[in-house]
Amino acid sequence: MAVRGKDRIRAKLQDGDTLVRILLAHPMHTGRGKDMQNELVPAEFIQDIRCWRNNKEVLTIKCGTATSRNPFFAFQLKGGVQGDVITLRWVDNTGAKGRVETEVQ
């Protein structure tokens, strides 16, 4: 496995709403790509991403293989105050998991 960077998540207030930006560190192999030795790289991609604000689930994202490497997502949440906790968990097809958490700035 390649060396993993860090999953990043930023959330900040913008005109009274919360802007959330997510950058996950994941190779997102589709199972169709080849490596230097011309061998197929087995599929390894994030399938399920869930997002919570203060323990309330707000967004579920299911990804196929067509999600780009190091997936990026941005969306807004209605309202919100400083200090809200935004949590994100992901699971990939090999069962690997990740969790990131941030406070709204």
Partner 1 sequence: MNKQFDAARRYWLKRGVSATTLAMVAASGLLLPQRLLAHWPRDAYQAKTVEDALLALLGEADMIDDDAVYFSVGSPPTYAVNGATVPVEVNTTLKNIEHIALLVEKNPSPLAMSLVPDDAVMLPFKTMLKVAEDSDMLAVIRAEGKLYVTRRYVEIDIGGCA
d(CA 93, CA 28): 10
Strand partners of residue 9? 22
CB atoms within 10 A of CB 77: 17
Nearest residue to 30 (alpha-carbon basis) of 99, 96, 92 = 92
CB of 9 to partner 1, least distance (A): 14
Residues that bind partner 1 in the complex, under the rule CB under 8 A: 17, 30, 32-33, 47-48, 53, 56-69, 71-79, 91, 93, 95
Provide the minimum distance between the beta carbon of 17 and partner 1 in the complex, in angstroms, as a whole number: 6
- Nearer to partner 1 by Cβ, of 4 and 24: the residue is 24
Q: Smaller CB distance to partner 1: residue 94 or 105?
A: 94
Round to whole Å and give the CA distance between 22 and 27. Answer: 15
Instruction: Specify the residue for token string 């997510």.
Output: 22
Q: How far is the CB of 4 from partner 1 (least distance, A)?
A: 19
Q: Which of 40, 105 has the CB closer to partner 1? A: 40
How far apart are CB 90 and partner 1 at their closest, in Å? Answer: 12
